[in-house]
Amino acid sequence: MKFSCKKDDLLQALNLVSRAIGGQQALPILGNILLEAEGKRCMVSATDLELSIITSFEANIENEGSITIPAKAFLNFAQYNFDDEILLETNEGTQLKCTSERAKTVIAGESAQEYPTITPIEKETTFSLQVGPLLNALHIVTFASARTTLRPVLSGVYLRAEKGKLIFVATDSYRLSECSIDADGSGTDISCIIPTKVLEELRSILGSRKGEEEEKDEKGEKKKKGASFKEKEVEVSLSSQQIEIRTGNTILLSRLIDGKFPDYQQIIPKESKTTVSLPTKELMTVVKRMHYFAKEINNNLTFTFKKKSVHITTPQTQSGQDETTLEVSSEGEDNKIALSSSYLLDFLTHIDDEEVEIQLADSMHPAVFRISSNPFFLHLIMPLRIAEE
């Protein structure tokens, strides 16, 4: 194998696929990256046997071939290299010789035949999603999933199709996010649980590309007609046990989580007795301040809603106590509920709206949060026991 390429193209590919390499590998070779040169492109892959990421870039290929290289060593060479062009060639079969104008590095690798085979899925359902709405949905949904695998189904995002829309749902049983977006070609038989890690990696990839395009716009560079970020699509394919996500030259492959997602709709209050609109930044500032005391007793914040105000208090703690009153726009009855300051902060940092709407039934049922910019989104936080005054 022998080819030359741009350093930036190689580094971008290595950074991207290395996301699939876990901190602890079941097999030493899973700490490697697979490099394959064929035709006019170089394909770069990595896997932890659960998640696989594959991408490619243009290269001047003199001799086709493949090799698997330790990711840390390969990234180290690409990151700390000043030169624009790099020549890569295999040496003695299992060594990769990396040469540039001012550097010459040899990295010990292994035969590509030793690397686990990344098998394409048998596509049963395929549909396309617009990048903009998908990126937004991932941002406001994935954070609500469980961070442990004690209940595997809660460590993923539930995806289902309903009335021409795709619905994303995540919960850790204490809070829940649901968001619906349009999908091109989606059927009504879609129902699966996608590992949160996969969707968070997708969000990072899409987010970084969006940032690159916005930076180009600020520099005044012209885009090709029809190449707007908002117009691009992500193609999703499903089989009974796997998911494949394609965006540009990059493919993510993953197993789906086996199991039944909880019937979450039964805990969403069917009606509310109180609806309140609060300024997001003001509420977040107050919750951040009061969290200092609330975190000592189960992150407890008590909200007492009146006609035009909300009184927020923390329990009396060893460190002290805090309280505040905010002016609000409200409809319905006076009400009261205790909520987690930690979960509130988590939610508020994931929305950009100037105002947030809270719908309440009573102190025993979840608080439902909505935002005006997205009528197809809701966030739910389970109530805490109101602290004794």
**Complete domains list, the chain, with CATH:** 2-114 (3.10.150.10), 125-220+227-255 (3.10.150.10), 268-381 (3.10.150.10)
Averages of pLDDT over each 10 residues, the chain, 389 residues? 96 95 84 96 95 97 96 96 95 91 95 93 90 95 93 96 91 97 77 96 88 60 45 86 95 96 94 95 97 94 94 93 94 96 97 96 96 95 85
Q: Of all helices (H) and strands (E), which one includes residue 12?
A: helix 7-17
**Contact assessment for residue 88 and residue 2, using Cβ atoms and an 8 Å cutoff:** yes
pLDDT of residue 388: 67
In this predicted structure, what is the pLDDT of residue 200?
Answer: 95
Helix axes 7-17, 71-79, angle to 10 degrees: 140
Which residues 6+ apart lie within 8 Å of 296 measured at CB? 315, 317, 318, 319
> CA angle, 246 as apex, 240 and 250 as ends, to 5°?
130
CA distance 337 to 165: 33
What pLDDT does residue 23 have? 77
Comparing C-alpha atoms, which of 2, 44, 56, 34 is closest to residue 112?
Answer: 34
Distance CA 55, CA 107 (A): 21
Residue pair 4/57 in contact by the 8 Å Cβ criterion = no
Give the pLDDT confidence score for residue 287 in this predicted structure. Answer: 97
Q: What is the DSSP letter of 174?
A: S
CB burial of residue 176 (10 Å; 0-12, 13-18, 19+):
buried
pLDDT at site 230: 46
Positive/negative CA dihedral, 9, 10, 15, 20: positive
Among 116, 112, 23, which residue's Cα sits nearest to residue 72?
23
DSSP 184: B
* Short-list 83, 121, 77, 117, CA closest to 98: 77
Query: 245 and 252 in contact (C-beta within 8 Å)?
Result: yes
**pTM recorded for the entire structure:** 0.90
Distance in angstroms between the alpha carbons of the first and the last residue of the chain: 74
The tally of CA atoms less than 13 A away on the side-chain side of residue 323 is 11
